[in-house]
A and B are shown apart, each in its own frame.
Chain A
């Protein structure tokens, strides 16, 4: 089940998605997280962030909307308090980085890209650029390209870009990222979503939708991107079973990330690893690569 992204090798292609696994500590108390292919950490920003005020999550049919606001301990505390535990694990460690300016991303990439025990960086581009009037890096082709170019220059560590599905044509962004030399792209982040409170007639919540509800939407994007791009695609969005993970692999994803369903079923990643092993044995396949991209 081994796969490679850039120069890093992962023992299997089942990862935990950013923001749904913290820095690993909580889940390590109830499951053997060393079995995962990799953990993508909660986003790390240069300075600590308090996150959003008010309601942060809401349940929708087979989904969840969140607006956490990238609450995290910041780079220094991450290195001093969280990295030691992560480095002690026998699983791949991918650090998700986020910033408010291009320079913040570059600073994060320079520091984290030079540390041992980290196998890749994943760039979260769904953040408002405060220097460009708060338009998300993921929404504007020019600032997206400049950001990726700068981060790529800042580090030689394997670099993944996590795309937003709410920025128009996801393929255009995927091609831009590829042209700037990233090692893989994650398709994709949450879908922009809202709920209105009919009693007050005001917005109840506005954030990103995740969970089983988005699986077919994410799959459609993964199919499109995999057909047209030759660098590794990491699929993420609504995985809730062995079958949904397999669909992503058949579509061409080299790895998958499990997100919200970790909350519902904390051992879902382990069940999927087991299920795919069984699937491969039954089909007499010796490598996961025989499944990846098998869609005609």
Chain B
């Protein structure tokens, strides 16, 4: 059966800065958690004006007691405007959209996120808290703020491992993929789930292929509608030996590493 998609106006419960680079936006929703699949997204209309025009898609970061939240970073004018909204303001959203992660056996699974790509992996972490989640961040202050946020969001911290580019005794120094390599040396995994910059995900894929580990990647694209109508957000995939375009919003946003044509 098709899951319900909500389209409604929502009141902001909170919109605040997390560390130096991230923001958390919480809004009141009628969405029932049963309809949310980890890896799905919501398409937000930031303001009622026409510039920027298009909605902006955000991974569902968390859902708790009628409150949905997204974690974001200021990337351009849309997210810049979003960051200026205050508690009590209204936004409208469409969602949950997309399919989320493909069904998998939890057994030997690992998640790897680069930067704000982590936003797409926490809800999965909350539901299946036995999966180690490796996150690569640039600054120590972001890592500390993130740990506080996880505590507050009731997302277990003990399986979350953070790598920070800035040299500091509290955290592993390096990138998310450096941290991944150390995990793979210690334990054998069957599946890696990942979201982050395209180059980082490509590195994760190359590492996984060498070790014969299956992969699922949560992709990001500029989207026109978020629902599969405008056909603007394509990804090139290999399908039955042929090259095809798929839509990140409707067919994804999660794709297996083998089907993606990496560039």
Chain A interface (Cβ < 8 Å from any Cβ of B)? 19-22, 26-27, 29-31, 50-51, 53, 55-64, 66, 68, 71, 211-213, 240, 260, 262-267
Instruction: How many A-B residue pairs have C-beta atoms within 8 angstroms? Tell me.
Output: 88
Q: Is the interface of B mostly helix, strand, loop or mixed?
A: loop
**A59: B residues at CB distance < 8 A:** 52-54, 222
Query: In the complex, which residues 33-77 of chain B have their Cβ closer than 8 Å to any Cβ of chain A?
Result: 45, 50-55
| Residue numbers in B under 8 Å from A56 (CB-CB) | 231-234
Partner of B51, one of A21, A61, A263, A265: A61
Q: Given A30-B7, A50-B245, A263 and B55 touching (CB < 8 A)?
A: yes
Closest chain B residue to A68, Cβ basis: B231
Query: Smallest CB–CB gap between B224 and chain A, Å?
Result: 5
How many angstroms from the CA of A9 to the CA of B6 in the assembled complex? 33
- Nearest neighbor of B56 in chain A, beta-carbon distance: A59
Please judge, given known A-B contacts A57-B222, A66-B230, whether A29 and B2 are in contact too, CB under 8 Å: yes
CB distance from B244 to the nearest CB of A (A): 7
Q: With A50-B244, A57-B222, A263-B224 given, is the CB distance from A66 to B232 under 8 Å?
A: yes
Q: Are A263 and B245 in contact, with the CB atoms below 8 A?
A: no
Bound CA–CA A50/B236 (angstroms):
11
- A31–B55 Cα distance when bound, in Å, is 17
Residue pair A30, B55 in contact (C-beta under 8 Å):
no
- Contact at B7–A264, with CB atoms within 8 Å? no
Contacts of B236 in A (CB 8 A): 53
Chain B residues with CB below 8 A from A64, complex form: 53-54, 224
Contacting A at CB under 8 A, from B1-15, are: 2, 4-7
- Interfacial chain A residues near B225, Cβ < 8 Å: 20, 26, 262-263
The answer to whether B228 has its CB under 8 Å from any CB of chain A is yes
Residues of chain B at interface, number, CB under 8 A: 30
Known: A30-B5, A264-B45. A22 touches B222 (CB 8 A): no
Q: Which residues of B contact A63 (CB under 8 A)?
A: 53
Contact B222 A62 (CB under 8 A): no
Q: Which 10 A-B pairs have the closest CB atoms?
A: A57-B232, A263-B225, A62-B50, A30-B7, A22-B229, A26-B227, A212-B50, A56-B232, A61-B51, A57-B224
A-B contact pairs, 9 of them (CB 8 A): A22-B229, A50-B245, A57-B224, A58-B222, A71-B245, A212-B50, A240-B50, A264-B54, A264-B55
User: Given the interface contacts A22-B229, A57-B230, does A62 sit within 8 Å of B224 by beta carbon?
Assistant: no
* Distance (whole angstroms) from the CB of A270 to the closest CB of chain B: 11
Partner of B7, one of A22, A57, A266: A266
**B143 interface residue (CB < 8 Å to A):** no
Q: Which residues of B contact A (CB under 8 A)?
A: 2, 4-7, 45, 50-55, 94, 222-234, 236, 244-245, 250
Query: Given A30-B94, A50-B244, A263 and B234 touching (CB < 8 A)?
Result: no
Taking CB atoms, residues of chain A closer than 8 Å to B2 are 29
Query: Which residue of the partner chain B has the closest CB to A62?
Result: B50
Q: Chain B residues near A66 (CB, 8 Å)?
A: 224, 230, 232
A211 to B230, CA, bound (A): 13
Asked if A22 and B54 make an inter-chain contact with CB atoms under 8 angstroms apart, the answer reads no
- Are B7 and A263 interface neighbours, CB within 8 A? no
> Bound state CA distance, A193 and B24, in angstroms?
36
Docked complex Cα distance between A21 and B87 (Å) = 34
Looking at the assembled complex, report how far the CB atom of B58 sits from the nearest CB atom of chain A, in whole angstroms.
16
The docked-state distance in angstroms from the alpha carbon of A58 to that of B52 is 11
A54 closest partner in B (C-beta) = B234
- Shortest Cβ distance from B229 into A: residue: A22
Once the chains bind, are A267 and B228 in contact (CB under 8 Å)?
no
Q: Are A264 and B53 in contact (CB under 8 A)?
A: yes
Chain A hits for B5, CB < 8 A = 29-30
User: Quick check: B53 and A62 within 8 Å, CB to CB?
Assistant: yes
CB distance from A201 to the nearest CB of B (A): 21
Flag if A263 contacts B229 (CB, 8 Å): yes
Q: Which of B4, B45, B222, B231 has the most chain A CB within a 10 Å cutoff?
A: B231
Q: Are B94 and A266 in contact (CB under 8 A)?
A: yes
Q: In the complex, are the beta carbons of B231 and A263 less than 8 A apart?
A: no
A18 vs B196: C-alpha distance when bound (angstroms):
35
Q: Which residues of A contact B231 (CB under 8 A)?
A: 51, 56, 68, 71
Point out the residue from A53, A213, A263 that lies within 8 Å of B54, measured CB to CB.
A263
Q: Chain A contacts of B230 at CB under 8 A?
A: 19-20, 57, 66, 68, 263
- Give every chain A residue within 8 A of B51 (Cβ-Cβ): 61-62
Expressed in whole angstroms, the Cα–Cα distance for A266 and B227 within the complex equals 11
Instruction: Give CA–CA (A234, B141) in the complex, Å.
Output: 57
Whether B224 pairs with A27 at a CB distance below 8 angstroms is no
Chain A residues with CB under 8 Å of B45's CB are: 264-265
